């Protein structure tokens, strides 16, 4: 089965996040990390942003040219002669030209469909004289008339573009609508590289991107950590993990490189990774519920769609410190304390489980295994008949701060 091409646009669309601005040094580090991870293509920027943008695009290109194996490099242009002229100053393999596809955007950019199609033919022809490959994008394809969209794709194909990008620019599509749109174009343009670009305004960018591949898209756009305009773009780590581990589709990417890549971009962007972020969040593979924890202790895949080791997260889970709380069952407490080298009698297990639950409620947070050990020491000092004393330890520890709160 054909490899799904991963087109990363962290350095272009990702940097268009409202509070993100990368320095040249950060861009070089991110570009190198993206190449190391195995992305197919890196969209380095938009040359129309000016002289400094062009210099930075060329600096990244020069750095990546030193690699024995490097991704394809592209830049993004509006549908203007001036943008394409600026792009010629960039050392890239691919120029991407984005055309307004919906009636709303055609009005906004002072096109009607006929003039837009004429401009498309002229711009593609001009770009092909200077670039190895030309990619054509349908901006706001999600709100475009399907027949109009097909005509733009026909012009792109006949003029020599190697790729046609469907952009859900305002993030309004659902997975079913995405499937129908991509499937219709795939049936009409069998040999065209069909690309999909999603935004996350309704929280469906990753789902829509996966659905686009199922419908026949051969390449997809992503950003690390889902950076991008407004609510962001399809998240690289989510898309790649879903394609590789659930759909069985190769992307050519190293899943074990994702954690480092995401941490690098989080630091550069100033946006920390949420603890519940799929794939790379600190709590993405942790269980608190007694039912989940007990099942997972017997079979690691019982309550996980993917294994932590698949994405190099296993080392993050060497301790069960963060999964003791008011929902923990005895199985979880036994496993957690066992991992810390503590063997419990049945009486101790029952008592410790009760006191862990009580303290978790009192403190409104989870407990660390170090805190559980202190509670166990109190239990052992009191003996098996001190049940009432065990149940008051929660409030005592809460007031006395015998141990530092766990994070």
Instruction: Report the number of distinct structural domains present in the chain.
Output: 2
Q: Is residue 118 part of a domain?
A: yes
pLDDT digits (tens, 9 = 90+) for 148-172: 999 999 999 999 999 999 999 999 9
Q: Is residue 299 part of a domain?
A: yes
Structure tokens at 370: 């170090």
Same domain assignment for residues 127 and 158: yes
Same domain assignment for residues 249 and 394: no
Which region holds residue 248: left if phi is over 0, alpha if psi is between -120 and 50, else beta?
A: left
- Residue 386's pLDDT is what? 45
- Residue 385's pLDDT is what? 45
- Residue 10's pLDDT is what? 99
Residue 293 has pLDDT above 70, yes or no: no
- Residue 130's pLDDT is what? 94
* Of residues 174, 166, 242, the one with CA closest to residue 202: 174
Same domain assignment for residues 16 and 74: yes
- Residue 392's pLDDT is what? 57
Q: Is residue 405 part of a domain?
A: no
Q: Is residue 277 part of a domain?
A: no
pLDDT digits (tens, 9 = 90+) for 105-122: 999 999 999 999 999 999
Same domain assignment for residues 265 and 300: no
Residue 320 has pLDDT above 50, yes or no: no
Domain harbouring 136, CATH code: 3.20.20.70
Is the Cβ–Cβ distance between 165 and 136 less than 8 Å? yes
Helix (H) / strand (E) element for 301: namely: none
Same domain assignment for residues 264 and 352: no
Q: What is the pTM of this model?
A: 0.87
Same domain assignment for residues 177 and 300: no
Same domain assignment for residues 195 and 141: yes
Last residue of a domain, one of 213, 237, 269: 269
Is the Cβ–Cβ distance between 244 and 20 less than 8 Å? no
pLDDT digits (tens, 9 = 90+) for 363-381: 898 888 888 999 898 888 8
- Residue 204's pLDDT is what? 98
* Of residues 189, 136, 129, 126, the one with CA closest to residue 162: 136
pLDDT > 90 fraction of the chain, expressed in percent and rounded: 71
Answer with the residue of higher pLDDT: 253 or 326. 253
Helix (H) / strand (E) element for 5: namely: strand 5-8
pLDDT > 70 fraction of the chain, expressed in percent and rounded: 90
Same domain assignment for residues 40 and 150: yes
What mean pLDDT, rounded, does the chain reach?
A: 90
- Residue 211's pLDDT is what? 99
- What is the spatial distance between Cα 40 and Cα 251, in angstroms, rounded to a whole number? 8
pLDDT digits (tens, 9 = 90+) for 345-367: 999 999 999 999 988 898 898 88
- What is the spatial distance between Cα 112 and Cα 94, in angstroms, rounded to a whole number? 27
- Residue 194's pLDDT is what? 98
- Residue 290's pLDDT is what? 66
Same domain assignment for residues 76 and 210: yes
Same domain assignment for residues 219 and 296: no
Q: Is residue 304 part of a domain?
A: yes
Mean pLDDT of 338-342: 87
Task: Tell me which residue range forms the domain holding 38.
Answer: 5-269
Q: Is residue 199 part of a domain?
A: yes
Q: Is residue 284 part of a domain?
A: no
- Residue 332's pLDDT is what? 82
Mean pLDDT lowest for which of 200-204, 322-326, 329-333? 322-326
Give me the phi and psi of 295, to 5 degrees please.
-65, -40
Same domain assignment for residues 253 and 362: no
Mean pLDDT lowest for which of 128-137, 254-263, 398-407? 398-407
Structure tokens at 379: 């239990």
Q: Is residue 131 part of a domain?
A: yes
- What is the spatial distance between Cα 403 and Cα 387, in angstroms, rounded to a whole number? 22
Answer with the residue of higher pLDDT: 384 or 42. 42
Same domain assignment for residues 24 and 67: yes
Residue 403 has pLDDT above 90, yes or no: no
Last residue of a domain, one of 269, 301, 336: 269
């Amino acid at each position: 089965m054909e490899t799904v091409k991963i087109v990363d646009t962290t350095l272009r669309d990702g940097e268009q996040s409202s509070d993100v601005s990368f320095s040249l040094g950060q861009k070089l580090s991110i570009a190198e990390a993206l190449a190391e991870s195995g992305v197919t293509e890196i969209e380095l920027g938009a040359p129309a942003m000016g002289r400094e943008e062009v210099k930075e695009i060329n600096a990244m290109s020069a750095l990546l040219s030193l690699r024995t194996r490097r991704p394809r490099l592209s830049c993004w242009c509006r549908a203007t002669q001036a943008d394409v002229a600026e792009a010629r100053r960039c050392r890239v393999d691919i120029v991407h030209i984005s055309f307004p596809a919906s009636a709303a955007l055609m009005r906004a950019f002072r096109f009607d469909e006929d003039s837009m199609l004429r401009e498309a033919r002229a711009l593609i022809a001009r770009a092909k004289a200077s670039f190895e490959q030309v990619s054509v994008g349908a901006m706001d394809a999600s709100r475009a008339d399907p027949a109009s969209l097909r005509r733009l794709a026909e012009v792109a194909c006949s003029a020599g573009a190697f790729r046609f990008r469907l952009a859900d620019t305002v993030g309004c599509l659902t997975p079913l609508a995405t499937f129908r749109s991509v499937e219709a174009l795939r049936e009409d343009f069998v040999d065209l590289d069909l690309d999909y670009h999603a935004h996350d305004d309704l929280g469906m960018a990753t789902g829509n991107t996966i659905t686009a591949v199922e419908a026949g898209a051969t390449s997809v756009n992503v950003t690390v950590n889902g950076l991008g305009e407004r609510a962001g773009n399809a998240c690289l780590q989510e898309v790649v993990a879903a394609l590789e581990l659930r759909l069985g589709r190769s992307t050519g990417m190293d899943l074990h490189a994702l954690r480092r890549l995401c941490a690098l971009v989080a630091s550069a962007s100033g946006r920390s990774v949420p603890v519940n972020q799929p794939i790379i969040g600190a709590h993405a593979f942790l269980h608190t519920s007694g039912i989940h924890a007990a099942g997972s202790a017997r079979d690691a895949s019982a309550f996980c769609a993917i294994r932590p080791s698949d994405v190099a997260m296993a080392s993050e889970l060497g301790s069960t410190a963060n999964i003791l709380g008011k929902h923990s069952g005895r199985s979880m407490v036994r496993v957690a304390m066992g991992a810390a080298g503590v063997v419990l009698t049945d009486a101790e297990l029952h008592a410790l489980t009760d006191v862990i639950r009580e303290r978790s409620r009192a403190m409104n947070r989870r407990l660390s295994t170090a805190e559980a050990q202190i509670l166990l020491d109190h239990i052992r000092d009191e003996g098996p008949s001190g049940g009432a004393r065990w149940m008051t330890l929660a409030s005592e520890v809460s007031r006395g701060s015998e141990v530092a709160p766990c994070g």
